[in-house]
Each structure stands twice: as structure tokens, then as C-alpha cells.
Amino acid sequence: MKILSHASKNPERQAELVAGIERLSAGTATIQFASDDDDALVAANDAEIILAHRVTPELFSAGKHVKWIHITGAGVERSLFPAIAESDVVMTNSRGLHAQPIAEWTLGALLYWAQRFDEAEAWRRDREWKQHKKLMTEERKLLKGKRALIVGMGEVGRGIADLLHTIGMHVEGIATTARNTSPPVYANEELDQRLGEADVVIIALPLTKNTRGLFNRRLFVLMKEQSVLMNVGRGAIVDEEDLIAALDRGKPGFALLDVFREEPLPPDSPLFTHPNIFMTPHVSGNFSEYTREVNAIFLENFERYVNGEPLRFVVDKKRGY
């Protein structure tokens, strides 16, 4: 059995995979690490398993004997093209490890907005004590009691909900189907109604044909005046031109963004200069031990694969996540 890894090039992480595969397969499996795309195409020819950041149509076509693909991230939209979607190949992802780091990013970004930490940075530049102290005092907001609507209640959404609940926010969720849980989760059909009641709207959705461009002018006008829109899902879920126009109108009043329609974000993007946006370069799910955790998820599934057991984190190829 051969495994192709077209993922991390870190020698330590690669050594972990080699040792784990040797142990779990009793020496019956090998792993080959591709140095680049061309190398991966050659190595895929006799591979049974592919571990990759992304699988291209060319790579999939080259892997004529592939039975299982594991994607190192949570989003699979770039790898879920028709040939894979219509095949019998099992696809899994690494969605189990993003909930905590994204939840902590969410809280950090909300505190930046609520505490007006941008004014603290302005004070360090101009050193005008009274002006910034007055503004921060008058405009500082407490998150306790604020209403957060999380659109997308998968593992990431639930992780965010748990953390925000601990600081006293009133949390609700939106998902494909309603759930009688705590926090309450409403069906997609109730999104329009719930938007107008939320102080903070958090997008934690995967990118699918149904979510692409979902947040646009039509939804923005339904939002609460001076509310906050956060996106930790996928950039293409938000119409960025409509968002900028909506921010100018105050519905929402502020945006906290970690993902963008085009990445890297072009240097001339108007998002850079809008005063009511805080953003980071798609880092909310990243942390220093990320690759080690991905390897752990892969090796746990590899053990299941060797033993003929069901895999965890299987992607529903029809739904796209």
C-alpha cells in the first residue's frame, strides 16, 4: 500500500508520518513525499491514499488506484470537482481541529471591536491621553448580554458558541435544520428574521453552491443598525462590494474578516482602507502545532482504514462539506 503526501515539507512532521505509518501498518505501507506538483503527478500513479492540501483534476486523474483522499484543511471546495464528487473515492478532511483556534480568534476580534483597541494604537502614535481616553470610555462596549447569531453550526460554529456563551453573550445558531438544543438552532429559512435581532452575525459556513454570495445587499439591509459582521467561513460567501456599501450605510456598522474572495487579498483592495474593518490574512484556524494535529487526525484514520473501520470526518460530496 502506497501513500502519497503532497502536503507539509517539514522534515520533522514527515518523520512523524513515516514512523506512524510503519507502526500502524506493520511495515506493509509506504509513504512518498512529493517535492512539487510534477513530482506528485508521477507519484500518484500507484498510490492508494493521497494526503494533500488540495487535489487538482490532474492529480486525481493520475491517481488511477486512489481509494481515499485526506485534505489537510477543513474546506474542500477547491478539491471537490465533478470527477471526485461522482467517484467512489472517499474524501476526509481535518475539520476536527479548527474549532478552538477559530473560537479564540473570534473572541479576540470581538474584543478588539468592543474595547476600541484601535484607539489605543492611535494614542501610542499621537500620545494625546485625554482625547483617546474619553473616546474609549464613551464607545467601549461590553459583550455580556449582546446577541450573537452564528450562521453555520458545524464544529467551528459550535466551538464559537461555547466560548461566547461563557462570557455571557446570548447565542443562537442557523443551520440546515432546526435543533432543539442549547444554544437554540434555527433552520436556514429563519435567517432573514434572525438577522435583525443580532448584535453580532458570525459566518461559519463552508463554501457551496448554496452559500456562494449568500451575504449580499439583500441580507445586509436586514441587519441591525451598527451591528457587526464576522466571516471565518469562506471569503466568497460575502459579496465584498456590497459589504463596503453596507458598511457606509451602517448596516452592519463594522466587519471582522479573516477570509476573502481572492486570496492573497490584492494590495489595491478597498477593504484595506475602510475604517470600519478589522481583518487578518486567513489565520483564524492556524496555530504553530497545526501540521502535527493534522498528522494525528490522518494517522487515526489510517489505523481505521487498515483495520477496515469507518473513517472519521468523511466529506459528504453531495453537500460539499
Reference 99, options 152, 159, 154; nearest CA is: 159
Looking at residue 96, what is its pLDDT? 78
Strand-pair category, 170-175 with 185-187 = parallel
| Whole-structure pTM value | 0.92
Q: What angle separates helix 117-126 from helix 129-139, to the nearest 10 degrees?
A: 170
Residue 270: asked if its preceding bond is cis (omega within 30°), the reply is no
Q: Can 234 be counted among the known catalytic residues?
A: yes
Non-local (6+) Cβ contacts of 287 within 8 A are 101
Angstrom distance (rounded) from CA 137 to CA 111: 14
Q: Which of 194, 282, 292, 304 is catalytic?
A: 282
Residue type for 13, please?
Answer: R
Pick the catalytic residue: 263, 289, 312, 319? 263
| Catalytic residue chosen out of the listed positions 6, 13, 70, 234 | 234
The type of residue at 224 is K
The pair phi, psi for residue 139, each rounded to 5°, is -105, -5
121 in Cβ contact with 128 (< 8 Å):
no
| Domains contained in the chain, CATH given | 2-97+288-306 (3.40.50.720), 99-279 (3.40.50.720)
What is the rounded CA–CA span in Å between residue 82 and residue 200? Answer: 36
pLDDT in tens, the chain (321 residues): 999 999 999 999 999 999 999 999 999 999 999 999 999 999 999 999 999 999 999 999 999 999 999 999 999 999 999 999 999 999 999 997 999 999 999 999 999 999 999 999 999 999 999 999 999 999 999 999 999 999 999 999 999 999 999 999 999 999 999 999 999 999 999 999 999 999 999 999 999 999 999 999 999 999 999 999 999 999 999 999 999 999 999 999 999 999 999 999 999 999 999 999 999 999 999 999 999 999 999 999 999 999 999 999 999 999 999
